[in-house]
Amino acid sequence: MDILSGILSAFGLSASAGLNAYIPLLVIGVTAHYTDLIKLNSPWDTLANPWILILLGVLVIIEMVADKIPAVNHINDIIQSVVRPVAGAIVFAASARVVSDIHPIVAMACGLLIAGSVHIVKAAAIRPAVTVTTGGTANVPVSIAEDILATFTSLLSVLIPILVGVFICIVAAVIIWWFISRTNKHKLV
């Protein structure tokens, strides 16, 4: 069960890195530094270093502010196209290696793909649709919602990872249902 919870935790943390690169890194760093819930193996234990925690806190603030400023948010998304997948790779490898012997390359590849996928959906589909449909007026509330979701998912991934598994199953079911209903709709036309 520890292996499953570690993998689910890694999936949730890397998915939240696709929304905000630094929140999940800060969550596991703070959790490892101040509690016994996570014991990070080397070299990932560097995330619990007080200086790294301060740096991550500053980076969280910078990313949150940059994502709320019109035009800057688009530049931020371009920069984050590299940063978020890398953060996802780091957080997946750091959290999965705590309870299992997943090869670091495999763990990092999983995190990279998960965070990268979430980021691509956010930056290439959701945000442009929000900008077009609302004239940009909903970008700040959507950005705040993304930060809240990234924080909630990160905390949930550390504290109750089985809920992340339930959430993944629900999202997968909705996507499959949507795909099937869309395919059937096209057959009728």
Q: What is the domain partition of the chain in residue ranges?
A: 2-163
52-61 long-range CB contacts below 8 Å, 24 or more apart?
Answer: 53/26, 53/29, 56/22, 56/25, 56/26, 56/29, 57/26, 59/21, 59/22, 60/20, 60/22, 60/23, 60/26
Higher-confidence residue: 128 or 96?
128
Residue 18 has pLDDT above 70, yes or no: yes
pLDDT digits (tens, 9 = 90+) for 73-124: 889 989 999 999 999 999 999 887 665 677 888 989 999 999 999 999 888 8
Average pLDDT, the chain: 88
Mean pLDDT of the region 45-55? 96
